[in-house]
Structure 1
Amino acid sequence: MEEFLRILTQSAGEILAPTTAAFAIAAIGLNLHFGYTGLLNMGQAGFMLLGAYGFGITLTLGGPIWLAFLIAIAAGVVFALLLGMPTLQLRGDYLAIVTISAAEIVRWFGRSTLWQEWTGGASGLQGRYYKDPFHALSFLPEGRFALGPFEYINTGSDSWFTRIFAWGLVALVLIFVWLITRSPWGRVLKGIREDEDAVRALGKSVYSYKLQALVLGGAIGALAGVVYAIPLAISPDSMGGRTMTFFVWTVLLLGGAATVFGPVLGSMIFFTAYMFMRTGMRALSEDTAVGNVISTTQVEYIGGMLVGITLMCLVIFRPQGILGNKKELAFNVR
């Protein structure tokens, strides 16, 4: 019973985790692409990795933290422009092919020994090189604080200050997306999602609106990469891999595309369930009888398989997600 309560508490802690907030922000950016505009971006991990590199490298070189955030956002904007300008004029799923390929290019760029002096190569950038300026912003006193079963240090990598910052940024991004999607600009995006030929017939530049949506969503994705890297480290394989993109898509589809709060709810539910599954399977693998069938090293592989099955089931049986409206997804992706 004590072991079950420990697993349950550890899993529930994912609701407030900075990683959960990072994926929520990334899914909000992807929602602006797919949910509101109908753009198939399969490389959100590339935006996240570039944002993290822009943030980490700037601070490692001694730059101020405000400049680090600006460079992270600028990296996402430039990446979106490079992807969108030649691709958004085409129809079909070209954007999906380009973005997933571009994310892989960014990952291999980070792994390359040619830029190892700045990116750290395959080992990535360790947090000790860039975290101190962020921790210096903390307004909390030294020590630890417990809120019910959750107890963390006030300032540090896995701390209350990191959580406050991460979820505060989620709130700001949510308000921003809520405002722009309810503006005339946002209504044009929804029109493009449903029938871009009709929007074009009204004299609107579909290409321009798509590019603007791609840039805004990419900048939000870059901020998600910063939030993800602050409590951990910057690793090209863990951040720029296809697994992270599929996690973001699962979060978005679980909560509901074309909804404001759907990505946040999806992230909370997904990572709580994912942590419960992983910790539960690890506990079972420590048992002699079960350990002969499932080893600790196999838990991650089984977890990835279950995420894939979950994504498939969502697309097949409930594409609108928990909060979504099925009519909102009745659009033509071009």
Structure 2
Amino acid sequence: MDWANLLTNVAGELFAPTTAALALAAIGLNVHFGLTGLLNMGQAGFMLLGAYGFAITTIAGWPLWASVLAAMASAVVFAVLLGIPTLKLRGDYLAIVTIAAAEIVRIVGRSTALSDVTGASNGLLGNSFKHTFVGASPFPDGRFTLGPFTYALNASNSWWLRIVAWALVLLACLLVWRLMKSPWGRVLKGIREDEDAVRALGKNVFSYKMQSLVIGGVLGALAGVLFVLPRAVQPDSMGRPTTFWVWTILLLGGAATVFGPILGSMLFWGALMLIKGIMRTVVPENVMSVAEIEAFGWILVGIALMLLIIFRPQGILGDKKELAINVR
């Protein structure tokens, strides 16, 4: 086994664009669940809407800044439409509604009636919407090597994308940190612990929940943009499994923490790539095919999520007192 090459690939995943995208999505979910106690099981819906908003407007000829705003606006509209009828629900009921809403977004996206807009199940090719982002790069074309890592400066899986992605993640962490320390954030934590008590103090609980849903949804939409820039917009790539990946990342790192989503995303992808890499080398082809190894890796993700909920719901960095896992 070529351990040096395997470990280099795993280390590369720690700061890959996909790792940053899922960390940003988990930060958005942290606003929903960690701060407010909203059991949102549809974060993938916000990601997919953001990806479509960015890609469709870019293909239509919009500049980069306008396409990013369109992605954010799509998340705001979706959050408002979703929140108005559902934010009075609690616990499992809200979880069911949000996962259904995300599935509606995915199914509409892959509908043949919208083939000219969304590409249906085939999606939108990356080369059709990446040009404005690549054009905004200050770097020349070519490749750059930093230690054992060599990537293109301006391409799908580039240094430029990595810099932008992780800059957005750090800005989102700063935003969450400020929100947690603000009076607004303390109201959200009060809603998470006992919304009836907060309502009795004269606070508009519904309004605060809506604000939380919008902010976390916008972060999810930006995560969706980062998620599709190295690849294509394909609706099935941001379905139910993506939501569970984001939940695993959040719970692994620690909900209601600032850096928990970043740590969780790095550990999640790093461990997953390491396990798959070892199994591809060690397990014979006649015992388990490459496709079966891929599936087995996701089985391990499901098992890890169950074990986290049972034995350490607060995650690595979290405080059990901060986590309202049994939201009523």
Structure 2 counterpart of 1:78: 77
Structure 2 counterpart of 1:254: 252
Structure 2 counterpart of 1:320: 314
Q: CA RMSD in A?
A: 1.1
**Aligned residue type for 2:147:** G
Question: Do the aligned residues in 1 keep the contact of 2:313 with 2:325 (CA within 8 Å)?
Answer: no
Structure 2 counterpart of 1:278: 276
Cα distance in structure 2, aligned partners of 1:95 and 1:219 = 19
Structure 1 position 332, deviation (Å) = 5.4
Question: Counterparts in 2 of 1:75-114, with a 5 A limit?
Answer: 75-114=74-113
Structure 2 counterpart of 1:221: 220
Cα distance in structure 1, aligned partners of 2:141 and 2:108 = 39
Cα distance in structure 2, aligned partners of 1:84 and 1:187 = 21
TM-score, normalised relative to structure 1: 0.96
Structure 2 counterpart of 1:300: 294
- 1:62 and 2:56 matched: no
**Aligned residue type for 1:85:** I
SS of equivalent residue, structure 1 residue 93: helix
SS of equivalent residue, structure 1 residue 297: helix
Structure 2 counterpart of 1:181: 180
Structure 1 position 141, deviation (Å) = 2.3
Structure 2 counterpart of 1:125: 124
Cα distance in structure 2, aligned partners of 1:233 and 1:281 = 28
The alpha-carbon distance between structure 1 residues 330 and 30, as it changes in their structure 2 partners (threshold 3 A), is closer
- 1:31 and 2:30 matched: yes
Question: Do the aligned residues in 2 keep the contact of 1:125 with 1:235 (CA within 8 Å)?
Answer: yes
Cα distance in structure 1, aligned partners of 2:206 and 2:161 = 38
Cα distance in structure 2, aligned partners of 1:205 and 1:67 = 33
Structure 1 position 330, deviation (Å) = 4.4
- 1:265 and 2:263 matched: yes
Question: Counterparts in 2 of 1:125-144, with a 5 A limit?
Answer: 125-144=124-143
Structure 1 position 94, deviation (Å) = 2.0
SS of equivalent residue, structure 1 residue 291: coil
Deviations 1:287-313 (A, max 9, x none): xxx222111110121011100000001
Cα distance in structure 2, aligned partners of 1:43 and 1:56 = 21
Structure 1 position 273, deviation (Å) = 0.6
Cα distance in structure 2, aligned partners of 1:219 and 1:92 = 22
Structure 1 counterpart of 2:40: 41
Number of residue pairs the alignment of both structures matches = 328
Structure 1 position 142, deviation (Å) = 2.3
SS of equivalent residue, structure 1 residue 25: helix
Structure 2 counterpart of 1:160: 159
Identity within the alignment, %:
64
Cα distance in structure 1, aligned partners of 2:323 and 2:292 = 36
Segment of structure 1 superposing worse, 276-285 or 143-152: 276-285
Cα distance in structure 1, aligned partners of 2:272 and 2:326 = 32
* Unpaired runs of at least 5, structure 2: none
Structure 1 counterpart of 2:149: 150
Cα distance in structure 1, aligned partners of 2:173 and 2:285 = 44
SS of equivalent residue, structure 1 residue 227: helix
Question: Do the aligned residues in 2 keep the contact of 1:193 with 1:332 (CA within 8 Å)?
Answer: no
Structure 1 counterpart of 2:235: 236
Structure 2 counterpart of 1:5: 4
Cα distance in structure 2, aligned partners of 1:58 and 1:322 = 40
SS of equivalent residue, structure 1 residue 151: strand
Deviations 1:88-119 (A, max 9, x none): 12344221111100111111111101111010
Cα distance in structure 1, aligned partners of 2:83 and 2:155 = 38
Structure 1 position 169, deviation (Å) = 0.7
* Unpaired runs of at least 5, structure 1: none
TM-score, normalised relative to structure 2: 0.98
Cα distance in structure 1, aligned partners of 2:132 and 2:297 = 35
Segment of structure 1 superposing worse, 275-284 or 104-113: 275-284
**Aligned residue type for 2:278:** G
Structure 1 counterpart of 2:201: 202
Structure 1 position 331, deviation (Å) = 6.5
